[in-house]
Amino acid sequence: MAKSPPPKRTPTKGGPKSAPVKGGRPAGLFTWLAIGLVVVVVVVLVIIKVTGGTTPSTNSTGFQPADPTTVAEVTHVPMSVFNTVGVTSPVALVTPPLVLKGQPALTATSSTGKKLPEVLYIGAEYCPYCAAQRWATIAALGRFGTFTGLGDMTVPSTESPYAGVPTFTFLKATYKSKYLVFKSVEEFTNVVPAGASFYSKLQNPTASEQAIFKKYDSPKFVPGLPKTSAESIPFITIGNRYLVVGASYTPATLANLSRSQIASGLNQPALPVSQAIITSANYQTATFCVITKNQPGSVCNSPGVLAAKKVMGIK
């Protein structure tokens, strides 16, 4: 995860510690549960927390629209793949969303004027953990609606060891669904301007979004999260019923693969990278089904989603 300047964002839960992120942005993995390379049910959470200075609000790389074929491959993964993978990812460990209890529902008004459950994402274009999480979140949201305006994005060279990891940006994305509303904030670009100390500022959360972020991305709601790692990215609240705080699987899973290779491989359930993305997507789908009251039924009652619900103990 990562955080806006002057506040910070940092890595969080499970697994061996990662190398620190270079360029003055401390990052790594907080060990919530001790794990090894074994097939077990574990909690794996990767977040990044950063401190940056004031920089221009432009993205010098420009916006690159995502290839329509690639977007279609990510947002229209065959149901058979979701069901075959279920929540099985033996190579890359995947953590499910956290459960919130007794919190006020998060809703928003859709483009058609209907009040619907809201899914709120806060991240940044440079963030390698956001890069990993977007793949699964886009795949899950593709089961409930349609995206337009997604852009291509790549983790910059300053974010070793995940430099070059391909992903997308929500900067100009629009999402339409009759079941839920998706809102996104990409706080920073993936470019550090000459003479600057941090990435260019891109988008700001609204006051209400910032309040939600500050409240839930904290040790009070994320067990084991150090206070110094509060308000880290990626952050996703799913109707204030579930949280994704940090990447649900390591960005290393995407290393040395092109965007098209990852996308086209999502129809192959035996690929480790596909298993990680689809497992995370099934978990998120299960939580989306809770806030949409199990609509659409064809998705929410599918074997892959039922498997995710069983692991999470939800209906």
Helix (H) or strand (E) holding 274: helix 272-291
- Residue 37 located in a structural domain: no
Closest Cα to residue 75, out of 140, 153, 25, 142? 142
Per-residue model confidence (pLDDT) at position 315: 84
Count of structural domains within the chain: 1
- Residue 17 located in a structural domain: no
Per-residue model confidence (pLDDT) at position 280: 98
- Residue 71 located in a structural domain: yes
- Residue 8 located in a structural domain: no
- Residue 28 located in a structural domain: no
Range of the domain at 271: 53-312
Contacts of 34 (CB under 8 A, 6+ apart): none
- Band (49; pLDDT cuts 50, 70, 90): low
Tens of pLDDT, residue by residue over 161-182, are: 999 999 999 999 999 999 999 9
Per-residue model confidence (pLDDT) at position 64: 96
**pLDDT at residue 133 above 70?**
yes
**pLDDT at residue 33 above 70?**
no
- Residue 140 located in a structural domain: yes
Helix (H) or strand (E) holding 199: none
For residues 80 and 57, the answer to whether their CB atoms sit within 8 Å is no
And the tokens for 163?
Answer: 């430099």
- Band (61; pLDDT cuts 50, 70, 90): low
- Residue 1 located in a structural domain: no
- Residue 227 located in a structural domain: yes
Mean pLDDT of the chain: 85
**pLDDT at residue 60 above 60?**
no
Cβ density class 137-168: b for 16+ within 10 Å, e for less: bbbbbbbbbebeebbbbbbbebbeebebbbbb
How many of the other CB atoms lie within 10 Å of CB of 219?
13
For residues 237 and 208, the answer to whether their CB atoms sit within 8 Å is no
And the tokens for 299?
Answer: 């998705």
Does the model's pTM come out above 0.75?
A: yes
Closest Cα to residue 246, out of 49, 25, 65, 19? 49
And the tokens for 256?
Answer: 């040395």
